[in-house]
Amino acid sequence: MSDEIYFIAGARPNFMKIAPLVHQSVEQGIKFKIIHTGQHYDYNMSRIFFENLNIPEPDHYLNAGSGTHAYQTAKVMIEFEKLLLIEKPKLVVVVGDVNSTIACALVAKKLFVDVAHVEAGLRSFDRKMPEEINRVLTDQISDLLFTSEKDAEINLENEGIEEQKIFFVGNVMIDTLITNLEKAKLLDTYKSFGLLKNEYALITLHRPSNVDIKEDLIKIVDALNYLTERIKVFFPVHPRTNKNLIGFGLYDQLISENLIIAEPVGYLDFLNLMINSKLILTDSGGIQEEASYLGIPILTLRENTERPITVENGTNTIIGRDFDLLKRYINDILASKYKKGQEIEGWDGKAARRIMEIIKKKYFDINTDV
């Protein structure tokens, strides 16, 4: 067994979550390797994040690519097992809830390598979401469970996870945001698209429940057209969404001059677009957190959220399929009648430090004050 930790990253949100852990490992003198599973393989959804976040190139690239959930998960497992059979790290650190998360956790545990799950305990309580399955199963086999909000701790305890495995540490996504906020403010990304500060809406959509069924996507297109009648809209289109807009013949229905459609952008550019926007419409989990920290009104096109703190203390509202409710909240935001949100415990830029101090104490026999 080596003296290294493996950080697993496979999809766009993972890179933001491992970045502060990597930086803290360097600062605390902990050896590590970055394993890129290749779940996201588009340049703007993968490689550019390593450049933006100032983290080293991956030590290993598993080249999983796209495919069904079963195919993608199996491909990651097969390739990751080959790697672990050559050299076993002290600990495998997985983040979030993507297929790479559960795949690498399973392989590690079956080869008797401990697993730490960052962002443990988040629950939407919707087993139709593949991410929910990944979360629950990963938590059940993890040795260390690092939570970002108090509700997550309660969820884990209710599922029978031993208390001594659970650590409330805060939110690593917010660590990354805080680290990069000033750099993002210096960019002119929003201006380069002809946008004016606080005078546009930012849209992201990618979940199968929203974009894979034509009838549902038609309703979302109608909602976007309603929004463009009131404010300029910037829409960096996810590859999955782009494919279905083309396949369903819906691009012709997005006809407003107030709508700017673009390819996905890198992390710093997207952060610049966020902080200068009037409102955000999304189905992303991480963006709910980032917008809440920034105090930007955010409307989530989902029936539920695994991040309830963003609704309770943040600036998030769950819209579901209620497009009349969506229109009401759009009008409230544009009239400056929307909730402001408040400070959230543990979202202070120090979550990664707390995580790595716990790991250092447990796996490297070094006492630190946590």
Closest CA to 30 of 9, 2, 59: 2
CA 33, CA 268: separation in Å to the nearest integer?
24
* Alpha-helix residue ranges (DSSP H) falling in the chain: 12-28, 47-52, 69-86, 99-110, 130-141, 150-158, 172-185, 189-192, 208-211, 214-228, 239-247, 267-275, 285-294, 309-312, 323-334, 351-363
Q: What is the CA radius of gyration of the chain?
A: 20
**279-282/60-61 β-pairing:** unpaired
| Token pair 């979030």: residue | 96
238 assigned to active site: no
Cα–Cα distance between 80 and 106 in angstroms, integer?
A: 10
Three-class secondary structure of residue 149 per DSSP: coil
Using DSSP's 3-state secondary structure scheme, residue 188 falls into coil
Q: Which of 40, 60, 117, 206 is catalytic?
A: 206
| Residues assigned a catalytic role | 206
